[in-house]
Amino acid sequence: MLNAVKSERKPISRKRFLLASSYIAFGVLWLFSTNTFLISVYGKQWPEVPVAIRFLLFLLITGLTSLLFTENFNPAVRYAKRRALEAVTDSQELFESVFNHTTDPMVVFDLNACIKRFNPAFAKMYGYSQAELNGSIIPIIPKDHVDTAFRYFDMVKSGQAPYVEFTGPRIRKDGSVLEAMIKFSPLRNAFGKVIGVSSIVKDITEIRKAQERQVHSEKLVAVGELAAGIAHEIRNPLTAIKGFVQILPSSPPEKQIMYSKLINGELNRVENIVNELLVLAKPNVKQYKPANLQASLVEVVYLLEAQANLQNVKLVTQFEEDVPEIVCNENQLKQVFINLTKNAIEATPLGGTLTIQLCTLVDSVEIQFRDTGEGIPPDKLKQLGNPFFTTKESGTGLGLLVSKRIIENHQGSFYIDSQVGTGTTVRIVLPIK
């Protein structure tokens, strides 16, 4: 900066001398001319007002002259102005470079959602030129997604959100559809006022396809594991049945009766497995209607109270008053409540307490089954809900899986918390609507 100032010092000194000489000459001329004018009008006695006006005019004229000099001839001011202009130019060039050479499509809108400009990456992705779109983004948005896009645009424009990021399909000029991630951000002026909206677009079509392939692969793995589990669980009772059938004809009558009961028991076991698998496999038919969960839980308590008494388990209910009805399949939820109550009773072999709690949250209801049984070790707790994994000798591991599936179909949440030696708590949260 000092070098720049020194380089301009010599011509500026001459200008300063000329300015000073002009200032003195103007002052002398001004005094002479104004004195002559005032004498011709007022004589030797001058009123105060004309004298004051003369003085103020002199200050105004000389002040403007000094300001003009400072703005145009002062080296420091000129250097600062030049640097500020260079900074603006550099910033604009940097923006243009990023805008034109980034691989991410970018588009700039005015406050009416009209396209002001877009970069080459945007033109390459969609195949349109600026003239073809003619300021409208509508051609690249499917009709059923236009309202959503403009709703997000208005949120950013009005300042409701600092930015909005969402995904959706978009249409290229050739008619092909891509899956895009769009981010709207506000454009502000030096005073912070929103003057437009920018959008950055990413083509995530291949990412979505990869995710779908991964999900499909995981489904195949799950089907394989489920098939292996089914084969294992059904083969055991079939092996027993086959053995009893082979020895049944040659057995004495009393043995035949015993073997028949064993065969019937194994067949019932196979039937239970098949029935639970059907619940998982069949489509979810949403025959939902308003139901009173408190009444459903009372029925479950009455149904299993005798079994609880045999196990020396005390059933305690804690129902909040005025719990609203929820829209649900009541029979399916009763099946869940029965499964969880039976599991809790069987998990308390030495006796204890099972507390069933019902309460209202903000926009949902919560049901808790809290027992004082043996608890579940952490390593086994992680595996609960997997097909055919069970902590019971006679269990299939499908009951909990079916229960979780039913709760998920009701848009609910299912949580299990357990401490060894303390007990297990199962929480179900269901939306009211």
Looking at the structure, tell me whether residues 231 and 308 fall in a common domain: no
pLDDT exceeds 90 at position 49? no
Q: Would you call 233 exposed, middle or buried from its count of C-beta atoms within 10 A (0-12, 13-18, 19+)?
A: buried
The percent of residues above 90 in pLDDT, for the chain, comes to 25
DSSP 8: T
Structural contact between residues 362 and 204, judged by C-beta atoms closer than 8 angstroms: no
Q: How confident is the model at residue 386 (pLDDT cuts 50, 70, 90)?
A: low
Please indicate, yes or no, if residue 298 is contained in any of the structural domains. yes
Looking at the structure, tell me whether residues 358 and 307 fall in a common domain: yes
Please indicate, yes or no, if residue 92 is contained in any of the structural domains. no
pLDDT exceeds 50 at position 159? yes
Looking at the structure, tell me whether residues 197 and 219 fall in a common domain: no
Mean pLDDT over each residue of the chain, to the nearest integer: 80
Over 138-195, what HEC string results? HHHCCHHHHHHHHHHHHHHHCCCCCCEEEEEEEECCCCCEEEEEEEEEEEECCCCCEE
Q: How many CB atoms lie within 10 A of CB 298?
A: 14
CA 241 to the chain's CA centroid: 54
In the chain, the number of structural domains is: 4
Looking at the structure, tell me whether residues 179 and 116 fall in a common domain: yes
Of 149, 180, 203, the residue at which a domain comes to its end is: 203
Looking at the structure, tell me whether residues 180 and 227 fall in a common domain: no
Please indicate, yes or no, if residue 94 is contained in any of the structural domains. no
Report d(CA 30, CA 59) in Å as an integer: 11
Looking at the structure, tell me whether residues 44 and 71 fall in a common domain: yes
DSSP 363: S
- For residue 9, the model assigns a pLDDT of 47
Of 153, 177, 203, the residue at which a domain comes to its end is: 203
- What would the two tokens of residue 390 be? 């069970």
Looking at the structure, tell me whether residues 198 and 213 fall in a common domain: no
- For residue 319, the model assigns a pLDDT of 93
β pairing state of 364-371 and 423-431? antiparallel
The owner of tokens 């073997």 is 259
Looking at the structure, tell me whether residues 362 and 297 fall in a common domain: yes
- For residue 7, the model assigns a pLDDT of 46
Output the domain CATH number for residue 156: 3.30.450.20
pLDDT in tens, 56-79: 777 777 777 666 666 555 566 666
Q: How many CB atoms lie within 10 A of CB 387?
A: 21
Amino acid in position 218:
E
What integer is the mean pLDDT of 332-359?
Answer: 88
- What would the two tokens of residue 190 be? 């030096």
Structural contact between residues 198 and 107, judged by C-beta atoms closer than 8 angstroms: yes
Output the domain CATH number for residue 374: 3.30.565.10
**Higher pLDDT pick, 405 / 295:** 295
Contacts of 12 (CB under 8 A, 6+ apart): 73, 74, 75
Least confident of 40-54, 175-189, 245-259: 40-54
State the Rg of the chain over Cα: 43
Looking at the structure, tell me whether residues 162 and 228 fall in a common domain: no
- For residue 233, the model assigns a pLDDT of 66
Least confident of 150-154, 210-214, 319-323: 210-214
Query: Which structural domain, as residue segments, surrounds residue 31?
Result: 2-83
- For residue 214, the model assigns a pLDDT of 80
List Cα–Cα distances, 400 to 13, 259, 403, in angstroms: 94, 31, 5
Please indicate, yes or no, if residue 60 is contained in any of the structural domains. yes
Output the domain CATH number for residue 221: 1.10.287.130
| Helices (H), ranges, 282-349 | 293-310, 330-346
β pairing state of 352-360 and 313-319? parallel
Please indicate, yes or no, if residue 358 is contained in any of the structural domains. yes
- For residue 5, the model assigns a pLDDT of 42
User: Does the pTM exceed 0.85?
Assistant: no
Report d(CA 92, CA 81) in Å as an integer: 17
Of 83, 116, 134, the residue at which a domain comes to its end is: 83
The owner of tokens 């000194």 is 13
Please indicate, yes or no, if residue 97 is contained in any of the structural domains. no
Contacts of 105 (CB under 8 A, 6+ apart): 118, 119, 121, 122, 124, 125, 126, 200, 201, 202
